[in-house]
Structures are given as C-alpha cells and as structure tokens.
Structure 1
Amino acid sequence: MPVKNIDIESEIINRVTDNGLSCADAFEIAWKLQIPACDIGAAADRLKLKLVKCQLGLFGYKPDKKIVKAEDFVSKELDDAIHKCLDDGKLLCVKSWEIAAALNLSRYSVSCACETLGIKIKECQLGAF
C-alpha cells in the first residue's frame, strides 16, 4: 500500500528540532517507510522545514552553514574512486555515499576529500541542492 503524505509528514514532525529535519533523520524516515529520500525532502518543503546537518557537512550547520574542510592528504584509492565517478566534473551525492561505503569511510571524509580536490558535490538525495 502506498505511503500517504500525512504519514510522511507525521514521521517528519516527530523528528523536528529547531524547525529543522536532519539529513540522518530524513534518511531514517525514508528507510522506515520504504520510500525515496527525495519524497522526504519534498514533504519537508511542504512543511516549510529546513533540512539541516547534511551528512556530507555541506549545509545546515551553525554558524557557518557548512562544516566540510579540505584535508592535507587524500589517499590514491579515494582520489581514484572519486575521479572514476565524476559526472561532468562533479560528484553526485549518492556516489559519495557509495564511495564511503565501499572504502569503509565516513561520508564526511569523502566530502572533505572532494573539498581538497576542488570537486563539487551535486544533486542532494533530499533535494536540498
């Protein structure tokens, strides 16, 4: 049976803090309801909620909005994995997650490597960017 908007919105409202829904909570809801993450992002928009605490560190942090930082060193293995997945010179959010899982790294670490390499991440799975 399809999940109704009211069910999605109810799950979101139960997890809101400071008028925001964290990326991690959004994905937990998507997993629980077995729906695409972008549906959670769309519902958060309908509810006029901010998406916060991106797991890549790209948005939703105070006071500077993003926390991702360039690193001193990026391993050849990570560099190669990132470059192999580029789409028009940028890395898709979903690909950054896949790389993190494949290399047993945090998602944030992949994002920091991209920052070091001057590679932008695009197409947030929640629709934030």
Structure 2
Amino acid sequence: MTHEDKGHFKLKHSPDRKVDKRVADLVKSKVKDGEMACAVAFEIAESLGVSPEEVGFTLDALEINIVKCQLGLFGHGAAKRTVKPAERVAPDLEKAIRGALVNDRLPCASAWALAEKRRLKKMDISSACEALGIKIRPCQLGTF
C-alpha cells in the first residue's frame, strides 16, 4: 500500500477475517499517536505467541500505521527510509542473500535470519540488499 492508502489498511484483507481480541487489546494498549513501531509489534507477537502477520493484520484492521521498520525500509519520518547502500558487500554475504531469494526478492524473515546467523545488524542486511539492487519483501507484518 502507498501513503495515499493511509487510513484504508483494512481494505488489504478479506472482510471475513476477524481480529483476535487478545491481540487487539494489547495493540490498543501500546499504540502511540495512531502508530506502532515495528519492534513493538514483534514484542506483541512474541508475548502472545502469535505470528507477526497476525499482529500486522490487527494493526491494519484497526487502521494503525506501522513505523520504524527495523530494516530501515519505511516509517522513519520525512526521510521515510533510513537504509543506505553498503559501500561493499562481502562475497559470502552476497552468496547467502542470493541463496535466500524467493522470486528475486529477499523475504523480510530471511533478512532477519541472515542477520542473526551471521551476527550482523538487520540494517547490515538491508544495506547489502540496497547495494545489490535486491528488494526485501514480503514484510513479516504484511506492510509490503
């Protein structure tokens, strides 16, 4: 969805899908100024034992904007994105990234897994992808 779609996030989903009340209650208690940081959404998922996608769906259903993507891809104020292309990408990291591609894109979950496995920051992976011209998607929360 684009910024023009802001306020219409729930339209991305089937009207038959229902919100989990536990998730909605916790989301409502943690939302600030109609927004929720990506990291907070993941904390909610972990604390309730639900998928990040379920939390993302709930945020969409409640028309709550997700901000501060941990990969630096969206929601960082006027700049929107904070990720910058890496100056250099190590050949082994490039190979690992390319090996994890699905339809020429790196899933967000795979970016996180690569960062954890290699003991890198999540932004290091997204910066490498920027340098390699690789898009990261889908988002675990369903934003893109």
Asked if TM exceeds 0.5, the reply is yes
The answer to whether 1:13 aligns with 2:28 is yes
Displacement of 1:106 in angstroms is: 0.9
Structure 1 segments unaligned to the other structure (5+ residues): none
Structure 2 segments unaligned to the other structure (5+ residues): 1-18
Seq. identity, %: 39
Task: Give the letter aligned to residue 21 of structure 1.
Answer: M
Residue pairs, 1:46-65, within 5 angstroms: 46-65=61-80
Residue pairs, 1:105-124, within 5 angstroms: 105-124=120-139
Aligned-partner Cα distance in 2 for 1:83–1:44: 31
Task: Give the letter aligned to residue 39 of structure 1.
Answer: E
What RMSD, in angstroms, separates the aligned Cα atoms of the two structures?
A: 1.1
TM-score, L = length of structure 1: 0.93
Aligned-partner Cα distance in 1 for 2:23–2:118: 32
Aligned-partner Cα distance in 2 for 1:7–1:56: 27
1:39 corresponds in structure 2 to 54
1:99 corresponds in structure 2 to 114
Aligned-partner Cα distance in 2 for 1:126–1:91: 15
Displacement of 1:88 in angstroms is: 1.7
Displacement of 1:87 in angstroms is: 1.3
